[in-house]
Chain A
């Protein structure tokens, strides 16, 4: 058989004819667009004036692009690593279980969902309101199993009124109480539904020397009540722990009755009345997933959900080709399971892991859909990545395709090292 070079020498035109279709397609669809992008990135928004490297300078001085760069960095480090690690764990574990295929199927299933749809799903999952967002529903449920819900989470003192909010969330009546005159603790802002079963507020009758008082919702329906006075229609707040505090020491404790009234023993005379914080702690509302602080990790979470299955399937395929004898030999030699995994399985899988990592890295560099869909507009700037910025710069308001092309060129430069690595590895594989 003639070698490649010999064929080229003897029949150059035939070779050219065979190469032409592929070259034409590659040229038109890959080389030309790249070349044009590079060219375009040197011109301004209108495409008429040559601005040399101004677009690149703009790119690195623009705050939102810098945020995008930083996020891209987080993405490329975290997302492929976590996904591959999870895929590896799934793959190794599913080797041992009975329903492996069913499990793999389920983990792989998110791959069948388009990025856009996955984005919409996770927009709902991360919703702040626990009634709508699964993530926060989970967190609040776990939280609430360990802590009791407070009875009047919304009740607050009126600003500038006789009651002050303390640092620990308890409410303190600023004036000391005296036996004989009622200790009135007005609170407001309790929503109507919570008051539905409450009884009208009243002050309990106090025995000699005792301090009587009441904690109530100091607002008359329809207005017209006097602030700080118990008006006829106003409701008492039941079940609040009332403490009498003197010099920082609790000297007496009681709880408000159904009509909000309480009676403290004689020791409380001259002390200050404090309502314990546990009645007022606001309900735990979960994490603000879509807020500016955790938005990027949250989106990476949804990416991992999608791609862990992909990593798992590739790694599982690699795992199947790992020679069993080697694992057996290690076990016979006394290695425990962790050592077998760490010293035998992972090194043997290294080429596969590298393929998965590199594929994911390329994939992550051009991530767009999830970041376009998941964050609400107010935190999209904090979740920004280069691909999204490219789109916004080129086609958004004040469309500047010069700047957009500059970002595209920069993205291309970022992908190149990964590509080179990939091509080298492929060559090595072929040589083997």
Chain B
């Protein structure tokens, strides 16, 4: 249907194509001149001429994240002559795409934040597999692990364009200097550091307990490092129950921190009322005498710091990798995968070209230079990142190779891993409220998982 609508138009506009292509070339030249993107570098990808074609891209991003993405799309428009429009999808991508498919006009390319949703779409037959040009980019730039995340039953459906490193602890350099401590490398050091910071008169850790997802990230990091990637995968798939010994161990470890109210800003009950942005601002808003010394979360903490505090990342706010609980430090990641939506199963040339471009190093570079972005693309040189902190985050992510694990709560059924007031969110909030009751927390988690995975 869509193809036939486009066909005749393409034929009539073929004459104009040359003119447009010339225009596109000029645009590219301009872009190279002022943006600096791709200047002096040979393009790492050949794109077809798509003059006159239009694409619609949907993603959850707003504000600066959206603007940075638009720069990538601009480059794509300049290179191919296609026109690309951006549609905000809102937080519930699954619902958004579902209603659009139902209505007969789905967006051409969608950025999906959860692997589970990708599987759901693929099951429904809404996605087109990637073609050879995209696969070539994937093979060149992505490790197996990142490719497999966008794989459903052996078919490659998408390209991970944006990654988040969720194994980071941000700290106030003032608080650390006052306490005379250095970033710790192991969990025991971390707890010891927290106690020293407490002795110095600064509350060591700010926990965003009102948002369940930050607690799931705490747990995932401890569990991944302590029990190892295999156990992590099995727990994710609910092959082992939440009452398993390894979960007890991870929660006991976490209780070394959560069990001492002095170590948490505003104590346990206060933490449960602290949302994520507040947990960041209370650590960095007062640069002289910070309320809290450390805050845990992914690289996007950086954008909260620069948006709502005066702290300078790299000077006032520094970051260290999540300490190793077991042998190796954990790398928990999240990310957005670009997929081509085609309910008839065939993706157009333009859709494939955009996916291939997004998988290329050129696109990653433009995005990285804008800041606030980490690419899973292993070919991207680290120099592209605008500052030391961002570079460090990216290096840690790439260095993990295939040993990283995707956010567990994003892979579980949404009723278990992504809903306020139930599942993992509520279970870990119960645990934060009463860290002594590990068995109770586990039983709750298991009963919730049992219900969620059964459906």
CB-CB under 8 A for A377 and B180, given A128-B270, A398-B415? no
Contact A158 B419 (CB under 8 A): no
Across the two chains, which residue of chain A brings its CB closest to B272? A378
- Interface code A357-394, partner B: CB below 8 Å = 1, 0 otherwise? 00000000000000000001111110010000000100
Which of chain B's residues has its CB closest to A380's CB?
B421
CB <8 Å contact, B419 and A398: yes
Interface residues on A, range: 35 or more
The smallest C-beta distance from A327 to any residue of chain B, in angstroms, reads 50
Cβ contact of A154, chosen from B201, B418, B433, cutoff 8 A: B201
Q: Considering the complex, which residues of chain B in the window 383-400 have a beta carbon less than 8 Å from any beta carbon of chain A?
A: none
- Quick one: closest B residue to A193, CB to CB? B289
Contacts of A188 in B (CB 8 A): 198-201
A349 at the interface (CB under 8 A from B): no
A128-B270, A222-B178 are known contacts. Are A378 and B212 too (CB-CB below 8 A)? yes
Q: Which of A64, A128, A378 has the most CB of B within 10 A?
A: A378
Query: Within the assembled complex, what's the spacing in Å between the Cα atoms of A159 and B263?
Result: 13
**Chain A residues within an 8 Å CB radius of B269:** 288, 291
Residue from A158, A191, A220 within 8 A of B289 (CB atoms)? A191
Contact B209 A378 (CB under 8 A): yes
Size band of the interface chain B makes with A? 35 or more
Q: How far is the CA of A400 from the CA of B454 in the complex (A)?
A: 14
Q: Is B379 an interface residue (CB 8 A)?
A: no
Using A64-B421, A396-B419 as known contacts, say yes or no to A219 and B209 having CB atoms under 8 A apart: no
Pairs of residues from A and B, 10 with the lowest C-beta to C-beta distance, nearest first: A223-B180, A398-B415, A397-B414, A381-B421, A188-B199, A397-B419, A378-B272, A376-B210, A191-B201, A222-B180
Interface residues of A in 195-250 (CB under 8 A from B): 195, 217-224
Cβ proximity bits A338-369 to B, threshold 8 Å, 1 near / 0 not: 00000000000000000000000000000000
Verify A45–B180 contact, CB threshold 8 A. no
Q: In chain B between 226 and 277, which residues have their CB closer than 8 angstroms to a CB of chain A?
A: 262, 266, 269-270, 272-273, 275
Quote the shortest CB–CB distance from A39 to chain B (angstroms): 21
CB of A145 within 8 Å of the partner chain? no
Beta-carbon contact of B210 and A378 below 8 Å = yes
Measured in the bound complex, the distance between the Cα atoms of B349 and A130 in whole Å is: 60
Tell me if B64 is interfacial: C-beta within 8 Å of chain A.
no
Q: Which of B20-28, B141-149, B156-164, B422-430 contacts A (4 or more CB under 8 A)?
A: B422-430
- Interface residue? A292 (CB, 8 A): yes
User: Which A residues lie within 8 Å of B200 (CB)?
Assistant: 188-189, 219, 221, 223
Give residues in A with beta carbon < 8 Å to B: 45, 64, 128, 154, 156, 158-159, 188-195, 217-224, 288, 290-292, 376-381, 384, 392, 396-398, 400
Evaluate contact between A377 and B421: CB separation under 8 angstroms.
yes
Find chain A residues with CB under 8 A from B356 CB. none
List chain B positions with a Cβ less than 8 A from chain A: 177-181, 195-196, 198-202, 209-212, 262, 266, 269-270, 272-273, 275, 288-289, 413-415, 418-422, 425-426, 429, 433, 452, 455
Contact indicator B201/A378 (Cβ below 8 Å): no
Q: Are B201 and A192 in contact (CB under 8 A)?
A: yes
Min C-beta distance of B450 to chain A, whole Å: 13
Docked pose: A392 CA to B419 CA in angstroms: 9
Q: Looking across the interface, which residue of chain B has its beta carbon closest to that of A383?
A: B421
Bound complex: CA A379 to CA B432 (Å): 12
- State whether B210 touches A377 (Cβ < 8 A): yes
Query: Pick the contact of A222 from B177, B289, B425 — CB < 8 Å?
Result: B177
In Å, the complex CA distance between A288 and B272 comes to 11
CB distance from B282 to the nearest CB of A (A): 10
CB-based nearest A residue for B429: A378
- Contact assessment for B421 and A376 in the assembled complex, using a CB-CB cutoff below 8 Å: no
Given A128-B273, A222-B180, A398-B452, the answer on whether A377 and B196 have CB atoms closer than 8 Å is no
Given contacts A128-B266, A154-B201, contact A397 B418 (CB under 8 A): yes
9 further contact pairs, Cβ within 8 A, besides A128-B273, A189-B199? A156-B262, A189-B200, A219-B201, A222-B177, A222-B179, A376-B272, A376-B273, A381-B426, A384-B421
| In the complex, residue of chain A having the shortest beta-carbon distance to the beta carbon of B273 | A376
Inter-chain contact A64/B422, CB cutoff 8 Å: yes
Set B195, B289, B433: member contacting A292, Cβ < 8 A: B433
Q: Assuming the A-B contacts A189-B262, A378-B209, are A224 and B421 also in contact, with contact meaning beta carbons closer than 8 angstroms in the complex?
A: no
CA distance A221 to B178 in the complex (A): 5
Is B180 in contact with A224, judged by CB distance below 8 angstroms?
yes
* A377:B425 contact, CB within 8 angstroms: yes
For the complex, give the distance between the alpha carbons of A288 and B195 in Å: 26
Whether the pair B273, A291 counts as a contact (CB closer than 8 A) is yes
**Chain A residues closer than 8 Å to B212, beta-carbon distance:** 377-378
**Known A-B contacts A154-B201, A223-B179; A379 and B272 likewise in contact (beta carbons under 8 Å):** yes
Assess the B414–A398 pair: CB atoms within 8 A.
yes
Contact, CB under 8 Å: A291 / B272 = yes
Instruction: Indicate which residue in A128, A158, A195 contacts B199 across the interface (CB closer than 8 Å).
Output: A158
Most chain-A CB neighbours within 10 Å: which of B272, B289, B429? B272
6 A-B contacts (beta carbon < 8 Å): A189-B199, A192-B289, A217-B201, A222-B179, A392-B419, A398-B413
Given contacts A156-B262, A398-B414, contact A376 B178 (CB under 8 A): no
A156-B262, A292-B433, A396-B419 known; A191 vs B202 contact (CB < 8 Å): yes
Q: Using CB atoms, name the residue of chain B closest to A292.
A: B433
Residues of chain A within 8 A of B199, CB atoms compared:
158, 188-189, 218-219
